[in-house]
Structure 1
């Protein structure tokens, strides 16, 4: 997903830099991609929050019971949570950049319609 989204963003930024004109269909395709990425972002947010909640539950149980067998579980959850946080951060920031690209595309379409 990371490579797919990075490649798409590079392509869109290149097209904007080249002053390419866009159509309503291009704008709709980009809006569809935003929708897909918003869904992806939501799923990763939910999974990240689930892992964080489980981490704190297990940590709370460990602090109350001092059961040493919970330490590997805490480590495993933490090892899984950290990459999820970074991936969610990437998705969040990229979707926000997609909004900016959408605005720039819409502005370019609007300007070309006014010139006609």
Structure 2
């Protein structure tokens, strides 16, 4: 997914540099892609929150019971939590940047960015 996001952002940045594009058509396509990435972001937020809660619960259970297997489980959750945080960070920042790209498309089409439709 990270490659796809980076590739798509680079594609849209290249489109914004050109003057010979159908801005309205590209805006519609961009909104669809933003929707896909927002859905992905929501799923990863749910998974990230679940792993964070499980990590905290496992750490608390280890402190209460002093069972070494719970410590190993908590460490495993923490190891999995780091890549989820990194990936969610990429998704969040990328979607925010896509909003900025959309605003630039609006400006390019001659529309005011902050006018209610």
Alignment length (residue pairs):
111
Gap regions ≥5 residues in structure 2: 112-117
Change (3 A) 1:30 1:23: same
Distance (Å, rounded) in 2 between the aligned partners of 1:101 and 1:50: 31
- Give the structure 1 partner of residue 103 of structure 2: 103
2:44 equivalent to 1:44: yes
In 1, Cα distance between equivalents of 2:102 and 2:77? 37
Q: Runs ≥4 in structure 1, deviation > 3 angstroms?
A: 18-22
Question: Which gives a bigger RCO, structure 1 or 2 (Cα 8 Å, sep 6+)?
Answer: 1
Give the aligned CA root-mean-square deviation in angstroms.
Answer: 1.2
TM-score (norm 1): 0.90
- TM-score of the superposed pair, with normalisation by structure 2: 0.89
The structural deviation recorded for 1:15 is 1.7
